[in-house]
Structure 1
Amino acid sequence: MTWEPERLDDQRHLSDGDPGGMLPAVAAAAAHVRTGYRSAVEARVDRLAGMGRPRAVVVAGMGGSGIAGDIMAAAVGNGAPLPIITLRSYQLPGWVGATDLIIAVSGSGDTEETLAVATQAVRRGCTLLGVGAPGSPLEAIATQASAVYVPVPVSGQSRAAVWLLTVPLIVAAAALRLVPADQELFERVATALEDMAHRCRPSSESFVNPGKSLALDVAESLPVIWGSSAAASVAAYRLACQLNTNAKYPAIYGELPEAGHGQVATFDGPMAERDIFADAPAHALRLVVLRDVEEHPQLTRQREASLRLARDRDVPVTELAAEGTHPLERMASLILLGDYASTYLALGYAIDPSSVSAISELKARISQ
């Protein structure tokens, strides 16, 4: 597989090389926000308010579904009066009990890890909220337990429907008075996503297209992706995951300030060396920093110092700033940019961004 940047502006290639329609799916993010909100309202997620505030919220989900819990926690922020935990596992922690809210999220509605957790939640008497495909095993578990269930019309890959799966969780958080969120906020988020989708559209050429530009930066490098706040770190993690699944491309995720106590040392390692006389570019480090307007002052100093440190060692740097006032808006702008970039990176390598044959094979081997 060779990187050919001219593919990014070849409209025929972008169409033929994307038989699963990942680019159109990514472009539907704004519509997913509106549909997710409508689905949550119609499912009467506000009924959770009548059950009282839980001791803790545990969001169970894998892959593109699990990120919904991270987004929810970052949207609520440090002022949360209770812990919000994302669980990517088969088993609930031992401390979880009847006073806790378990939110089981699965785009397909049949993710075995999530079904296992939802079943355990019912057995322990927890309050359960399910979000996933209609008519699925997850809905059956929720229905049998008389739990609230939000059916969302996920088609294709769940990772391309992150907002369909996430918005019901934010509606639930608003019902529990954990975060102020109303239809006006979701409309602002949808509008921001529409703007980013327009800027990253396939017909927009690489030199003015932020999604293609980020793909060009990342190509033929090992990206080290850092977030400078809770919201930016969720977007950084999402970008690393999307590079893995869409582009089949390795990426290292980190969060400041922790990355400054470990990953920064890689700037002095073998992957940071560059041979300026080589015929082809070396697959060396590139630092990608996602920054937010809400940063601890000391963290801002560390981010700026880290960028200088990288540049002093000739490690190339890409810095991206979040846009918007609410944390949900800022995450949305960065997440959609990364979704586009990972898809364009795949297409630049002539890789089908929808295909996940290794994941499918792994699941098949486990089920035998």
Structure 2
Amino acid sequence: METLIKNFPKQLKEAIEISNNLKPIPDTKDVREVLIVGMGGSGIGGDFVQSIVFEDCSVPVLVIKGYELPAFINENSLVIVSSYSGNTEETIHAFQTALQKKCRIVCLSSGGTIEKEALKNNIPFVAVPAGYPSPRACLGFSVVLQLAILLKYNLIKSSLFEHIQIATDLIKFEQDEIQNKAKTIAQQLSGKFVAIYSTDRFEPVALRFRQQLNENAKVLCWHNVFPEMNHNELVGWADKSPVAVVFLRNKDDLKKNIQRMDICKNIISAKTNTFIEIYSKGQHKIEKLIYMIHLVDWISFYLAKIRNVDVSEVKVIDFLKTELEKDRI
């Protein structure tokens, strides 16, 4: 996993190259909404895409993480089916529903049932390079290729890809500094339950951080967002707590959210002995998101090393899948 994290800039570059060579997609007109369907490490890419295009995409973008699709979908709905293995149960179920509703569909995977069904039904298929140990190691491919699909449908501007290249250069240049910062933060989080907070527009980073701490470092944590947490969870910080708190911040966030986070910093930091602020780097939103992805991935890796756990091992998920298979026999 260490090599995979280190090669994240390389993965982004490879993803851009693949996106530049995507085959033409027929019937790209009159799309009224986009649904990105995926679970876990394949689903998180949809969260980032939704955030990236929030201010720019000409139609709504929804992320679906489950078996079911909303009732309103029809032939004017674009459904992006994302499963790295191609065998994710929930995603296959949603894929079949999209077929029944005659949606526009584009599939994204390294093979499996998703690829077979796409070829069988003459559905556009985007191949993700195979051989990666887990979907969470393929976030660069997931984000860039989903954006490339939206570009094929003329729903976003091509200039977004320029910022992906700038972000790639940024994290390559900052690599040593990012890793040193990650080591320090991992030490601060060691042995503690972690609470992660961000603004709503940067929630995908908070979610990625939580999921990477879960899978890589094998620890429980939670996340919430501003301003929503100001209307409920803030009240829960009534007593002194052993929880380690991380604020994910951007210096050019919405001023109202900056003000809220500053005030809550004073409130929450008085209730815990471990309060950490992490600021993004970069100019464009994509640059900031990619910088933060790389940093939190490294934090999870170094926390796993401190805890002496296997970063790649997910035996409990494998056990769950085996138990689910028993019901199908």
Distance 1:145 1:189, change over 3 A: farther
TM-score normalised to the size of structure 2? 0.93
What is the deviation of 1:253? Answer: 0.7
Matches within 5 A, 1:308-327: 308-327=266-285
Q: Quote the offset at 1:76 in angstroms.
A: 0.6
2:9 corresponds to? 30
Deviations 1:130-161 (A, max 9, x none): 1110x422112222222221111141111011
The answer as to 2:313 corresponding to 1:342 is no
Maintained 8 Å contact 2:237/2:268: yes
Partner of 1:298: 256
- Alignment of 1:242 with 2:212, yes or no, is yes
Q: For residue 159 of structure 1, what is the aligned residue in structure 2?
A: 136
> Which stretch shows the higher mean deviation, 349-358 or 309-318?
309-318
Q: Distance in 2 between matches of 1:318 and 1:336?
A: 17
Residues 69-96 of structure 1, C-alpha deviations (whole Å, 9 max, x = no match): 1111111123433221111101211111
2:122 matches 1:146: yes
The alignment's TM-score, normalised by the length of structure 1, stands at 0.83
Q: Match for 1:32: what amino acid?
A: Q
Q: 1 CA distance for matches of 2:92 and 2:31?
A: 21
CA contact (8 A) 2:28 2:153 kept: no
Which consecutive unaligned segments of at least 5 residues does structure 2 have? none
Q: CA–CA distance in 2 between the matches of 1:217 and 1:82?
A: 42
Secondary structure of the equivalent of 2:20?
helix
Moved more, 22-31 or 192-201: 192-201
Q: Percent of aligned pairs with the same residue?
A: 23
Say which SS state the counterpart of residue 131 (structure 1) adopts: strand
Contact 1:132 1:165 in 2 (8 A): no
1:170 to 147, 162, 168: 147
Alignment pair present for 1:333 and 2:303: no
Give per-residue Cα distances to partners, 1:177-226, cap 9 Å, x unaligned.
4333345333212212323434345xxxxxxx011112112212221101
In structure 2, distance between residues paired with 1:123 and 1:196: 47
2 CA distance for matches of 1:355 and 1:25? 15
* 1:259 corresponds to: 229
SS of the residue corresponding to residue 69 of structure 2 reads: coil
Which residue number corresponds to residue 93 of structure 1?
70
Does the 8 Å CA contact 2:214/2:221 hold for their aligned counterparts? yes
- State the match for 1:11 in structure 2: none
> In the alignment, is residue 220 of structure 1 matched against residue 191 of structure 2?
yes
User: Which residue matches 2:109?
Assistant: 132
In the alignment, the residues of structure 2 paired with residue 190 and residue 79 of structure 1 have an alpha-carbon distance, to the nearest angstrom, of 21
SS of 1:217's equivalent in the other structure is: helix
Alpha carbons of 1:294 and 1:116: their partners in 2 closer, same or farther (altered >3 Å)? farther
Note closer, same or farther for the CA distance 1:196–1:237 as it changes in structure 2 (3 Å cut): farther
Q: Distance in 1 between matches of 2:322 and 2:31?
A: 37
Does the aligned pair in 1 maintain the 2:187–2:303 contact within 8 Å? yes
CA contact (8 A) 1:57 1:83 kept: yes
The letter for the 1-side match of 2:125 is Y
SS of the equivalent of 1:221 reads: coil
How far is the alpha carbon of 1:310 from its aligned partner?
Answer: 1.5
CA RMSD of aligned residues (A): 1.8
> How far does the alpha carbon of each residue in 1:75-124 deviate from its partner, in whole angstroms, 9 at most, with x for none?
11234332211111012111111110000111111111111111221221
Helix, strand or coil at the partner of 2:193: strand
The answer to whether structure 1 residue 357 and structure 2 residue 311 are counterparts is no
Instruction: Give the number of the structure with larger relative contact order, counting CA–CA contacts within 8 Å between residues 6 or more apart.
Output: 1
Q: 1:53 to 1:317 in 2, by over 3 A?
A: farther
Partners of 1:130 and 1:295 in 2: how far apart? 34
Query: What's the offset of the Cα at 1:246?
Result: 0.8
Distance across 2 between alignment mates of 1:354 and 1:254: 26
Residue by residue over 1:234-275, the C-alpha shift from the partner in whole angstroms, topping out at 9 and shown as x without a partner, is 101110111011111011110111112222223224xx34xx
Q: Residues 361 and 197 (structure 1 numbering): CA distance in 2 closer, same or farther, change over 3 Å?
A: farther
* Deviation of the 1:291 alpha carbon: 1.3
CA 1:200 to 1:300, structure 2 compared with 1: closer, same or farther past 3 Å? Answer: closer
| Counterpart AA for 1:41 | N
Whole-angstrom CA distance in 2 between matches of 1:355 and 1:176 = 38
Distance in 2 between the 1:79 and 1:187 partners?
A: 19
Bigger drift between 309-318 and 221-230 goes to 309-318
Q: Secondary structure at the match of 1:362?
A: helix
SS of 1:98's equivalent in the other structure is coil
Which structure 1 residue ranges, 4+ long, deviate > 4 Å from structure 2? none
In 2, Cα distance between equivalents of 1:83 and 1:293 = 27
Alpha-carbon distance change, 293 to 148 in structure 1, aligned in 2, over 3 angstroms: farther
